[in-house]
Chain A
Amino acid sequence: DAGVTQSPTHLIKTRGQQVTLRCSPKSGHDTVSWYQQALGQGPQFIFQYYEEEERQRGNFPDRFSGHQFPNYSSELNVNALLLGDSALYLCVSSLGQGGGNSPLHFGNGTRLTVT
């Protein structure tokens, strides 16, 4: 039973570029959330996708966008990269929209470095 898989594991980009990160949720899960974790800090909620639509959004600019596909996999896109976007990006899958009714399963993240 595959857990949450993210690709790539590491990525280096230059300021101003665009990046796409990918996530496949745990088998049987239909909801994907994305978190940003800066070094030495807790994860910060970016947004959540359910039924191919963005359902909730944290305090992130619209440079951050996403998509969910019919097979429940998801992409996170970041445009016009800034140095401050350097972080570990975590994908989280759950069944339904969470709310504590379904445990969250984290992937191991994509480490993005912006130079």
Chain B
Amino acid sequence: GENVEQHPSTLSVQEGDSAVIKCTYSDSASNYFPWYKQELGKGPQLIIDIRSNVGEKKDQRIAVTLNKTAKHFSLHITETQPEDSAVYFCAPLGGDDMRFGAGTRLTVKP
């Protein structure tokens, strides 16, 4: 099965700075790479995803980059705001089931 690791486990940045979270996976057959944001008391919400035929995708302040050779993909958040504070999960899809990383707790200090 898929082995998924996220780094760092916690990240604290100043408002306006950038944040980068990295996800490594083991299944070379993975072809779908989403990132989810989970706020307190809520379920995870999809914020951005990328497929294996694309190297980078951007949506306003967030972007995802994929390196299939090295088997990792990263979430980039620019101009961070306090409302970006949450737990972020990667969940690469390899085979039939989606495995989630352990999560990264991002804190944006005003």
Number of A-B contacts (CB under 8 A): 53
List, in ascending order, chain A residues with CB within 8 A of B45's CB. Answer: 106
Find residues 15-52 in chain A having any chain B CB closer than 8 Å to their own CB. Answer: 35, 40-45, 48
| A-B contacts, 30 listed (Cβ < 8 Å) | A40-B103, A41-B102, A42-B4, A42-B91, A43-B100, A44-B100, A45-B97, A48-B97, A56-B96, A56-B97, A58-B97, A90-B44, A99-B32, A99-B93, A100-B32, A100-B34, A100-B49, A100-B93, A103-B34, A103-B46, A103-B49, A104-B46, A105-B46, A106-B36, A106-B44, A106-B45, A107-B43, A108-B41, A108-B43, A109-B42
CA distance A36 to B32 in the complex (A): 22
B94 to chain A, nearest CB (A): 10
B22 to chain A, nearest CB (A): 15
Do most interface residues of chain A lie in helix, strand or loop, or is the interface mixed?
A: loop
List, in ascending order, chain B residues with CB within 8 A of A107's CB. Answer: 43
Q: How large is the interface on B (under 10, 10 to 19, 20 to 34, 35 or more residues)?
A: 20 to 34
B27 to chain A, nearest CB (A): 13
List, in ascending order, chain B residues with CB within 8 A of A98's CB. Answer: 93, 98
B interface list, Cβ under 8 A from A? 4, 31-32, 34, 36, 41-46, 49, 51, 89, 91, 93, 96-103
- Which of A90, A106, A107 counts the most B-chain CB atoms under 10 A from its CB? A106
CA distance A58 to B45 in the complex (A): 21
List, in ascending order, chain A residues with CB within 8 A of B42's CB. Answer: 108-109
Closest to B93 in A: A100
List, in ascending order, chain B residues with CB within 8 A of A40's CB. Answer: 103
* B89 A43 Cβ-Cβ under 8 A: yes
